[in-house]
Amino acid sequence: MMINGHRVAIVGATGAVGQELLTVLQERSFPVAELKLLASARSEGKKITFCGEELTVTEAKPSSFKNVDIAFFAGGPVSKELVPEAVKEGAVAIDNSSAFRLDPDVPLVVPEVNPDDVEKHRGIIANPNCSTTIFVVPLKPLHDAARVKRAVVTTMQAVSGAGKEAIDELLLQTKQVLAGEDVQQPKVFQHQIAFNLIPHIDVFGDNNYSREEMKLLNETRKILHDPEIQITATTVRVPVLRSHSESVNIETEKELTAEEARNILNNAPGVVVQDEPKNMEYPMPLFTSYRDEVFVGRIRKDYSQKNALNLWVVSDQLRKGAATNAVQIAEILHRRSLL
């Protein structure tokens, strides 16, 4: 802990994103003077080590946020109740749930894309959906260069995006299939996920798009400050433990060659270009896990449409898609003395 640091709380500290937040705060040496680990009542009393100090998890309550400067919310329905309570106590809440993302008074921030939006906060800053964050980091520099009019996105999302129980379900089902046993009835996913793909993430709306698919449209428009950009998405759960992948097709107003796009992305913050298909170099979930960058490859012209390009985008959704993005937001608040 740092003497001149901030008083920090993590709500959901025992979950997948909460654990990742602890790791990222330590790795990036964020100035923490005091840390409160909060979770549901069933996790109260658990011990977690942070920077060599053993801390005890306590139940998250409205009274938990006294003398807290920054409250990280790792996601879930508890945000609707407790984020306003944290703000009442004077904390800045960085929320990873969907509760406030489309609220016009709440900035929705990806630091490589719209860092200045943090200046508009009224106590709450929303972290985008993981697939949106991974999408907009490489989209923004291309949008700035040639204005993206339309994008078609197909996501291939790792099971860890649905939490630890989802990881356990994939591992158990895989063992059962390989042992020739009957696969138990799924508890987390709608169908067996082992050796399968499920084109269904979150609930379906009346338009037959899932809420996960609509997030890509609505959140991207807000982050880019462009309500006219057109986006259609299909989101798919795949039997991968970690790191989301996205097949992205964009159509731009100005012509942009594949080489120009490659050069732009090579100089974009938070982006790593891996694009040598002849040498079998392209982004893959296995090698992007536990990294903070967004990896882009397979950059090529789409010959079926004027001014169109194809991209393959991969990033660790627990890191850049959630925890790292939240800590980067906190770093901006710290640098700009907004706490």
User: Same domain for 122 and 141?
Assistant: no
Specify the pTM: 0.95
Chain centre distance of CA 151: 19
User: Same domain for 192 and 299?
Assistant: yes
Q: Is the pLDDT of residue 3 over 90?
A: no
* 165-197 pLDDT per residue, tens: 999 999 999 999 999 999 999 999 999 999 999
Burial class (CB in 10 A: 0-12, 13-18, 19+), 319: buried
Q: Is the pLDDT of residue 72 over 90?
A: yes
Whether residue 28 is contained in a domain is answered as yes
Look up the domain containing 105 and give its range: 6-128+322-335
| 257 in Cβ contact with 302 (< 8 Å) | no
User: Same domain for 110 and 177?
Assistant: no
Instruction: List for the chain the helix, strand, coil content (%; round to 5).
Output: 35, 25, 40
Mean pLDDT of the region 11-18: 94
| 329 in Cβ contact with 109 (< 8 Å) | yes
User: Same domain for 117 and 245?
Assistant: no
Q: With b meaning 16 or more CB within 10 Å and e meaning fewer, what string describes 278-288?
A: eeeebbbbeeb
- Structure confidence at residue 75 (pLDDT): 87
User: Same domain for 41 and 98?
Assistant: yes
User: Same domain for 121 and 149?
Assistant: no
Percent of the chain with pLDDT strictly greater than 70 = 99
Mean pLDDT of the region 253-261: 97
* 313-339 pLDDT per residue, tens: 999 999 999 999 999 999 999 999 998
Whether residue 49 is contained in a domain is answered as yes
Whether residue 230 is contained in a domain is answered as yes
Give the total number of structural domains in the chain. Answer: 2
Q: Is the pLDDT of residue 1 over 90?
A: no
φ/ψ (deg, to 5) at 136: -80, -20
Burial class (CB in 10 A: 0-12, 13-18, 19+), 211: middle
Positions marked active-site: 130, 244
User: Same domain for 219 and 253?
Assistant: yes
- Structure confidence at residue 58 (pLDDT): 97
Whether residue 142 is contained in a domain is answered as yes
User: Same domain for 156 and 96?
Assistant: no
C-beta neighbour count of 101 within 10 angstroms: 21
Whether residue 174 is contained in a domain is answered as yes
User: Same domain for 204 and 247?
Assistant: yes
CATH code: domain of residue 219:
3.30.360.10
* 297-309 pLDDT per residue, tens: 999 999 999 999 9
User: 245: closest CA among 283, 298, 196?
Assistant: 283
**CA 5, CA 54: separation in Å to the nearest integer?**
18
| 339 in Cβ contact with 92 (< 8 Å) | yes
Q: Is the pLDDT of residue 49 over 90?
A: yes
* 110-154 pLDDT per residue, tens: 999 999 999 999 999 999 999 999 999 999 999 999 999 999 999
DSSP code at position 6? E
